[in-house]
Amino acid sequence: MLTGKAPQPEPVNASAEGEQIWLNVIGKMEETWGQLIGQQVELERKNAALEEAHAFMASVFESMSDVLVACDTALRIVRTNTAAEKLFAPEGQSIVGVRLEDLIAPSSGLKAEDVASSMTRRQGLEDREFQFSTTSGALPFAVNGTLLYDRRQRLSGIVLLGRPLGEVRRAYSELDQAHRNLKAAHVQLVQAEKMASLGRLVAGVAHELNNPISFVYGNAYTLKRFVPRLVAYLEHIHAQPGAALFAQERQALRVDMVVSELGGTLDGIVEGAERVRDIVADLRRFSSDRRSAGAVFDMAGVVRTGLEWVLASADRIVETRMDVEEPLEVEGHAGRMQQVVMNLVQNALDAMEDVPHPVLCVTAKRDGVRVRVQIADNGSGIPPDVAGHIFDPFFTTKPVGKGTGLGLAICYGTVSDHGGQFTVRNGAQGGAVVAFDLPAFAPDGGPAVLPEEG
Ligand SMILES: Nc1ncnc2c1ncn2[C@@H]1O[C@H](COP(=O)(O)OP(=O)(O)OP(=O)(O)O)[C@@H](O)[C@H]1O
Ligand SMILES: [Mg+2]
Residue type for 433, please? V
Mean of all residue pLDDT scores within the chain: 86
Ligand 2 midpoint to CA 278 (Å): 14
Render the burial of 55-69: b for 16+ CB within 10 Å, e for the rest. Answer: eeeeeebeeeebbbb
Strand order in the sheet with 370-377: 319-324, 359-367, 370-377, 432-439, 421-426
Which of 88, 93, 121 minimizes the C-alpha distance to 104?
88
Instruction: Please tell me the number of the ligand nearest to residue 393's CA.
Output: 1
List Cβ neighbours of 25 (8 Å cut-off, separation of 6 or more).
9
What digits encode the pLDDT tens for the residues 60-80? 877 888 899 999 999 999 999
Question: Is 88:134 a contact under the CB 8 Å cutoff?
Answer: yes
Q: Is 380 in the pocket of ligand 1 (CB under 6 A)?
A: yes
Domain ranges of the chain: 1-61, 62-169, 176-287, 295-439
List Cβ neighbours of 307 (8 Å cut-off, separation of 6 or more).
320, 322, 341, 345, 362
Question: Hey, is 156 helix, strand or coil?
Answer: strand
pLDDT band for 293, please (50, 70, 90 cuts). Answer: low
The domain defined by 62-169 carries CATH number 3.90.1150.10: no
CATH ID of 295-439, from 3.30.565.10, 3.40.50.300, 3.40.50.2300, 2.30.30.140 = 3.30.565.10
What digits encode the pLDDT tens for the residues 165-182? 877 777 888 899 889 888
Pairing of strands 370-377, 432-439: antiparallel
Q: Is 431 in the pocket of ligand 1 (CB under 6 A)?
A: no
Q: Is 144 in the pocket of ligand 1 (CB under 6 A)?
A: no
What is the distance between the alpha carbons of residues 215 and 295, in angstroms, rounded to a whole number? 36
Q: What share of the chain in percent tops pLDDT 90? A: 46
Instruction: Please determine, for residue 452, whether its predicted confidence score (pLDDT) is greater than 70.
Output: no
Lowest-confidence pick of 4-13, 98-107, 289-298, 428-437: 4-13
76: phi then psi, degrees, rounded to nearest 5: -100, 140
Closest atom of ligand 1 to 386 CA is: 31
Render the burial of 398-408: b for 16+ CB within 10 Å, e for the rest. Answer: eeeeebbebbb
Ligand 2 midpoint to CA 437 (Å): 19
56: phi then psi, degrees, rounded to nearest 5: -65, -50
Closest atom of ligand 1 to 396 CA is: 29
| DSSP label at residue 453 | -
Strand order in the sheet with 77-80: 77-80, 67-72, 155-164, 137-149, 125-134
What is the distance between the alpha carbons of residues 143 and 125, in angstroms, rounded to a whole number? 7
Atom 28 in ligand 1: which residue has the minimum CA distance? 396
